[in-house]
Structure 1
Amino acid sequence: MVIRIPEARLHIRVTGRVQGVGFRSFVAQNAKALDLTGWVRNVGRDQVETVAEGRRENLEKFTQTVRMGPSVSDVREMDKEWEEPLGEFEIFKVRWI
């Protein structure tokens, strides 16, 4: 078994019309396509939070995708924070809590 050590870790919080519009599924699908690991979840009434690890280049692409969101969403604000990768994730998943 090969253990991948991620290059970078990105913590993103988006605010706007991002709940009830398929935003988490959109984020998860795009993260998987970019070979990222981590999670995405709803926070409060109008926020989605995601933590992703992988190649920095792919995380940059991921940032652009998250900012765009699915067509029915409206991202009004996005905060991102680069962190040290921990290598704690095996897959990318939607968290329900």
Structure 2
Amino acid sequence: MGGVLTVISRVETKYDGRVQGVGFRMRVLDISAGYQVCGRVRNASDASVRLLAEGTPQELQAFLTDIRQTLARNIVDEKSEWTEIEAAEFEDFKIAEDLIVR
């Protein structure tokens, strides 16, 4: 008998708007607890917040939808890039150190 093949995806999302200094990352961390996702969320030097999350496409889509609905008043723009991956890089979801963007 063959095993069930689980597709793992990675989504990288950039959030612009009123997203720094307002508890945005902490809210994303709180929201992540309701989903089977792993990854990191961090402030970037361009005043955006960057999310890198891994999980099944369905879990990730639901997670992003929850973020969008919960933090709608803070988000002005959101851009996501999706990729399929062979193995997850992360084992948990955390707030990471700030990212310097050039």
Which structure has the greater CA radius of gyration? Answer: 2
TM-score by length of 2: 0.79
How do 1:38-57 and structure 2 match up within 5 A? 38-57=39-58
Alpha-carbon distance in structure 2 between the residues aligned to 1:30 and 1:20: 18
| Aligned residue type for 1:56 | P
Partner of 1:31: 32
Change in CA separation of 1:67 and 1:13 when aligned onto 2, cut-off 3 Å: same
Instruction: State the shift of 1:45 in Å.
Output: 4.8
Q: Is the aligned partner of 1:94 residue 2:90?
A: no
Q: Is the 8 A contact 2:17 2:77 kept in 1?
A: yes
Query: In the aligned structure 1, how far is the partner of 2:70 from the partner of 2:45?
Result: 18
**1:84 aligns to what SS in structure 2?**
strand
Opposite residue 34 of structure 1, the aligned amino acid is Y
Deviations 1:10-65 (A, max 9, x none): 11000000011111011112122202000000012520001101121111111112
Q: Which runs of 5 or more structure 1 residues have no equivalent in the other structure?
A: none
The 1:16–1:69 alpha-carbon spacing in structure 2 relative to 1, beyond 3 Å, is farther
Residue identity matched to 2:81: E
Kindly tell me the number of residue pairs found equivalent between the two proteins: 92
**Quick one: percent identity of the two aligned structures?**
33
RMSD: 1.9
**Partner residue of 2:3?**
none
The TM-score with structure 1 as length reference comes to 0.82
Q: Distance in 2 between matches of 1:90 and 1:56?
A: 17
Q: Quick one: distance in 1 between partners of 2:78 and 2:60?
A: 15
